[in-house]
Chain A
Amino acid sequence: GAVVSQHPSRVICKSGTSVKIECRSLDFQATTMFWYRQFPKQSLMLMATSNEGSKATYEQGVEKDKFLINHASLTLSTLTVTSAHPEDSSFYICSARGKTSGSYNEQFFGPGTRLTVL
Chain B
Amino acid sequence: TQLLEQSPQFLSIQEGENLTVYCNSSSVFSSLQWYRQEPGEGPVLLVTVVTGGEVKKLKRLTFQFGDARKDSSLHITAAQTGDTGLYLCAGADGKLIFGTGTRLQVFP
Contact = CB atoms under 8 A, between A and B. Distances in A.
Top-4 shortest CB links A-B: A109-B42, A43-B101, A44-B98, A43-B98
Interface in B25-79: 31, 33, 40-45, 48, 50
A12 B82 CA distance: 31
B43 A109 contact: yes
Interface residues of B, number: 21
B84 interface: no
Nearest to B101: A43
Given A93-B42, A109-B42, A42 B92 contact: no
Interface in A25-77: 34, 36, 41-46, 49, 60
A34 B96 contact: yes
A34 B95 contact: yes
Contact of A114 (B1, B40, B100): B40
B48 A42 contact: no
B31 A43 contact: no
Contact of A45 (B31, B41, B43, B98): B98
11 contacts: A4-B42, A44-B43, A93-B43, A95-B96, A102-B48, A104-B33, A104-B92, A107-B96, A109-B45, A110-B42, A112-B42
A43 B43 CA distance: 10
Contact of A43 (B41, B42, B48, B88): B88
B19 interface: no
A91 B40 CA distance: 8
Nearest to A42: B101
B56 to A, nearest CB: 13
Contacts of A107: 96
A112 B40 contact: yes
Pick the most buried of B45, B96, B99, B100: most chain A CB atoms within 10 A of its CB.
B96
